[in-house]
Structure 1
Amino acid sequence: MTITANRICRSLRTLGLLTALVTLSGCASVYLVDNQVQSYARWADRASAPGVPVVIPQPPQVFRFERLPSQRAGQSASGGQDELEKLTTLALGKVGWTPAAAGTAAPWLVQVSASSLRLPRAPWESPYDAYWGGGFGPGFGFPGQGYFVTGTGQVIWAPMFPRFETPYYQREVSLVIRHAASGQVVYETRAAHDGRWNSTNSLWSAMLDAALRDFPAPPEGLRQVNIEVPR
């Protein structure tokens, strides 16, 4: 009975270990892109048409991209803006909006922009680790300061040891939709994400999907939209 019980216990432990490994591998297969999203819908101009009910366009819809002068020059013209618009096309396709065929009119104009700021470290991290005195002979240090006191009582300034830093990124993507005939802005949305993930198409796609969450009738106010991205 004891041998059998021991075998059962070992089997259960093995099963538990395998389950934990599967769970960990599943967690490692995706990463989370947490976005702060704020959207504004104005499908009807109530100032110019009071009392007119808001008609929200239902899919399918067609659109055409428009660019600011700054997006037609420099790095944007060399491919960065093209790539961003390709990712935006995929994101809009998920909500039933597709690009108009060449040479045909489109009722909607879409402008997309993105920004990325690379920081050497997260905003809450110190550029230096606490420094504890050393030198020759006994002494003591002041944590977080660039000083130490030797055994003779001499105060010596020394630069604190630099932290091994990991870059931190602050990113934002923004979409503006205009009514082509009137030029009126009918929809505006942006998603912001801070984190250490490197820039990839999957990351930007997740931010675009977050920005278009609840399109075309989003809730009011700032909200968090989390998107899981396969590694």
Structure 2
Amino acid sequence: MFIPDEYRLSDAAQALALAREIRTGSLLVCDDSGVPDASHLPFLFDADGADPVTGAGAVLTGHVDRRNPQWRALRARPDCRVAFLSPQAHVSPSWYGTRPRAPTWLYVAIHVRGRATLVEDGSSLRRMVERLSTELEPGHSPWNVDQIVPYTERLMNHIVGFTVAVDRVDAQIRLGQTNTPDDRRRVLAGLDAGDAQARAVAGLIRRLAPFDGG
């Protein structure tokens, strides 16, 4: 991923935390002919002790349907990438006080590079699925995975798990931070008046790229 210096996030721990919030990543692997393929999957994150700059040492965990050929591609070519993309929004040139301006697009993107290892034994798969369910289920939910044990056991035959040992994390925080404070206020106002995704981007600006008057 090309990242201009002004948009690079060098804090790997923060980048991994943002990716964990996004949760759904695009697993990118090349097939036997060298053509890239992608699957969109929820991931588990283990980042304690990861390098603060590169993110090396973190581990991502996921699983795919056994019918998905990507797991065989991972076995043959373990080097892979997982991309995470935040809510995103268009910025109209009409929002700016400066002229001339062009339309632009705001977002946060995190790319994780690493090496995959397949996990196919039933007990390990079960632990992965149970942990994912536990992490994602709302705290007040009356449901838990123990209620469907026979069903879960049948599912184990139809999925393949994998872990990705992280080599590097690259993150781009493209939230208009190169603009003047006045233009940034104008952009925030435009986003706040937009749809749910635009308002989510406004929230990212306030949280990740704050400025005086924002």
Scaled by the length of structure 1, what TM-score is found? 0.24
**Greater share of helix:** 2
Q: Which has the higher contact order (CA 8 A, sep 6+)?
A: 1
Larger radius of gyration: 1
